[in-house]
Amino acid sequence: MTLLNNCYYRLTLDVSNAIRKDYVFPTPTSDYGIWNPPAESIFNKEWLDHMKSIGIPLYNAMLFYRGAGASTKETHVDISKTNPLRLTNYGINWCIGGKGSEMAWYQYPQELKDEDVIWTKAKTPYIAMRYDQVTEIERCHIGNEVTLVKTDLPHAILMKDDPRWCISARTTFLDNHQWDEILTLLRSKNLLVERE
């Protein structure tokens, strides 16, 4: 596996009015929750139209809640489909709350297989790995800054004392492309903030 050290990039997208004013966030029943709302139920039509006009049509969102101190118990890789297995390469994320929390990425040694897939209660496939099976690459506080995050590597959320909601906008745009191809296209649209 090739080690790519840059697992996130800030984006120039404006999400200040992305979420519908009438959208009601779910009520978490524990320190962790995951939901998969269709794009039109959570995002404003104007923002969806804008995203489509710049070539990034959205079809759904992943909505994650984590309570204070509720760090991920293991790392995981996002899956877009099974049989044959295909990884979800990226998400467009931003958070509400979560002061000091971090997203961390890890390198893993083995090949992933269909039989490794687990399904969440929200009917989302993923592959989990223990921390002792992986090696940390880097970490980042996402906060309210819109961030392109790599999701085909094991990643985890390391929480502090502030609960957080994470909104992850998802698209089929470049679904089959590699990370470097996604970066090239987003650069061409002037959406990517280069890292030093």
- What are 73-107's pLDDT values in tens digits? 999 988 876 556 677 788 999 999 999 999 999 99
CATH of the domain at 131: 2.60.120
Full-model pTM: 0.89
Gap between the Cα atoms of 133 and 113, Å rounded: 16
pLDDT tens track for 16-46: 999 999 999 999 999 999 998 999 999 999 9
* Domain assignment present for 49: yes
Q: Are 141 and 173 spatial neighbours (Cβ–Cβ below 8 Å)?
A: no
Give percent of the chain with pLDDT exceeding 70: 92
What is the token pair recorded at 21? 């004013």
Beta strand 58-66 pairing with 118-119: unpaired
Q: How far is CA 30 from the centre of its chain?
A: 21
* Domain assignment present for 22: no
Give the range among 89-93, 110-114, 188-192 with minimum mean pLDDT. Answer: 110-114
Band of the pLDDT at 123, cuts 50, 70, 90?
confident
* Domain assignment present for 139: yes
Query: Residue 49 has what pLDDT?
Result: 96
pLDDT at 8 over 80: yes
pLDDT, mean of residues 109-118: 77
What is the number of domains present in the chain?
1
Gap between the Cα atoms of 116 and 128, Å rounded: 8
* Domain assignment present for 23: no
Q: Are 113 and 85 spatial neighbours (Cβ–Cβ below 8 Å)?
A: yes
CA dihedral 120→126→127→132, nearest 10 degrees, is -80
pLDDT, mean of residues 160-181: 85
Gap between the Cα atoms of 150 and 88, Å rounded: 9
* Domain assignment present for 105: yes
Residue with structure tokens 């590597």? 153
pLDDT at 174 over 70: no
* Domain assignment present for 24: no
- For residue 177, CA distances in Å to 19, 24, 88 come to 27, 33, 10
- Could you tell me which of 6, 7, 48, 9 has the C-alpha nearest to residue 187? 9
pLDDT at 50 over 90: yes
Question: What is the extent of the structural domain holding 181?
Answer: 8-15+30-188
* Domain assignment present for 128: yes
Query: Residue 176 has what pLDDT?
Result: 64
* Domain assignment present for 143: yes
Give, for 166, the enclosing helix (H) or strand (E): strand 164-171
pLDDT, mean of residues 127-144: 93
